[in-house]
C-alpha cells in the first residue's frame, strides 16, 4: 500500500503542475483578451470621431456654399439698389440687403464654430490614433508572447498527460477511482500530506490513532475533516 500511496502522491503532483499550467495559460489569454477589447474600443472611438469630424466638415462645406449664394444675392441687390428711384422700393430693398448682411454674419459665425469643432475633432483623432498605434503594438507583442507561452504550455500539458497516464495505469483501479472521485469533490486536491499531526488540506489536527496508523503506511487513510486522501510526511518535529 505504501507504494500505491507514493504513486497517488506522484499523480497529485502531476495534476497540480497541470493545473498551474492551465492557470498560466488562462491568465495569458485573459490579458490578451483585455488588450484586444481595448484595441476594439479605441477603434470604435476612432470611427465615431471620424464620423463626427466628417459630418462637421460636410456641414461646413454646405454652409460655405450657402454663404457664397447669399453674398451673390446681396451683391445683386446692391447693384439693383443704384437703379431704383422709388423710395418705397429702395427702402424695401435696403432692408433686404441689411437682412442678408445679418444672415451672412450669423452664417460666418457658425462657420467659425464648425472650423473650431473640426480642429478639435482632428486633435482628438490624432490622440486616439497615437493611443491606438501604441495599443496595437502592445497587442502584437503580447500576442507573440502568449503564442510562445501557449505553445510551451500545451507542450508541457501533453507531457504531463503522458506521465499521468503512465502513473495512473500503475495504480490499482479501485484506488484510482477513489482518487478521481476525491479530486472532483475537493476542487482538484485529492492527496495531501500530514505534518506534525496536521492535515495540510484543511489544517485540522488528525486524531492520534489515525496518525499512528498513517505512519505505518499499510492502508489508505482519509482525513476525517476534509475527506482527502492523506499520507505521512516526516519532518524534524515528528
- pLDDT, one tens digit per residue, over 57-90 is 999 999 999 999 999 999 999 988 888 888 888 8
Which helix (H) or strand (E) is 194 found in, with range? strand 191-195
Mean pLDDT of the chain, nearest integer: 92
- List the grid coordinates of 205: 489536527
φ/ψ (deg, to 5) at 138: -65, -40
Q: Classify 207 in phi/psi space as left (phi over 0), alpha (psi -120 to 50) or beta.
A: beta
**Residue 235 binned pLDDT confidence (cut-offs 50, 70, 90):** low
pLDDT of residue 69: 94
What integer is the mean pLDDT of 156-176? 95
Checking if the pLDDT of 236 tops 50, the result is: no
- List the grid coordinates of 85: 428711384
Instruction: Provide Rg for the chain, Cα atoms.
Output: 40
CB neighbourhood size of 7 (10 A): 19
Strand order in the sheet with 229-232: 198-199, 191-195, 229-232, 221-222
What integer is the mean pLDDT of 6-32? 93
Checking if the pLDDT of 182 tops 80, the result is: yes
What integer is the mean pLDDT of 197-224? 92
Checking if the pLDDT of 237 tops 60, the result is: no
Please give the angle made by the CA atoms of 66, 71 and 73, to the nearest 5 degrees. 95
pLDDT of residue 219: 87
**Domains by residue range for the chain, with CATH:** 14-171 (1.10.287.1490), 175-232 (no CATH)
Checking if the pLDDT of 234 tops 80, the result is: no
What integer is the mean pLDDT of 205-210? 94
What integer is the mean pLDDT of 166-184? 94
pLDDT of residue 172: 94
**Residue 216 binned pLDDT confidence (cut-offs 50, 70, 90):** confident
The DSSP call for residue 198 is E
pLDDT of residue 238: 47
What integer is the mean pLDDT of 82-100? 89
What integer is the mean pLDDT of 113-131? 93
- Cα(70)–Cα(97) distance, integer angstroms: 10
Amino acid at each position: 500500500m505504501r507504494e500505491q500511496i507514493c504513486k497517488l502522491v506522484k499523480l497529485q503532483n502531476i495534476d497540480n503542475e497541470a493545473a498551474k499550467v492551465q492557470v498560466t495559460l488562462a491568465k495569458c489569454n485573459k490579458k490578451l483578451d483585455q488588450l484586444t477589447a481595448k484595441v476594439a474600443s479605441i477603434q470604435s472611438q476612432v470611427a465615431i470621431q471620424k464620423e463626427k469630424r466628417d459630418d462637421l466638415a460636410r456641414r461646413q462645406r454646405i454652409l460655405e456654399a450657402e454663404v457664397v449664394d447669399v453674398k451673390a444675392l446681396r451683391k445683386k441687390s446692391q447693384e439693383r439698389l443704384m437703379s431704383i428711384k422709388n423710395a418705397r422700393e429702395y427702402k424695401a430693398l435696403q432692408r433686404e440687403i441689411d437682412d442678408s448682411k445679418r444672415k451672412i454674419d450669423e452664417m460666418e459665425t457658425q462657420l467659425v464654430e464648425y472650423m473650431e469643432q473640426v480642429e478639435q475633432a482632428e486633435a482628438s483623432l490624432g490622440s486616439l490614433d497615437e493611443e491606438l498605434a501604441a495599443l496595437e503594438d502592445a497587442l502584437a507583442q503580447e500576442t507573440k508572447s502568449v503564442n510562445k507561452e501557449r505553445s510551451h504550455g500545451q507542450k508541457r500539458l501533453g507531457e504531463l498527460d503522458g506521465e499521468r497516464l503512465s502513473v495512473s495505469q500503475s495504480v490499482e483501479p479501485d484506488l484510482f477511482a477513489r482518487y478521481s472521485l476525491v479530486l472532483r469533490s475537493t476542487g482538484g486536491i485529492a492527496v495531501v500530506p500530514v505534518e506534525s499531526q496536521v492535515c495540510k488540506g484543511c489544517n485540522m489536527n488528525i486524531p492520534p490513532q489515525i496518525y499512528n496508523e498513517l505512519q505505518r503506511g499499510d492502508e489508505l487513510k482519509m482525513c476525517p475533516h476534509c475527506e482527502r486522501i492523506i499520507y505521512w510526511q516526516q519532518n524534524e518535529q515528528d
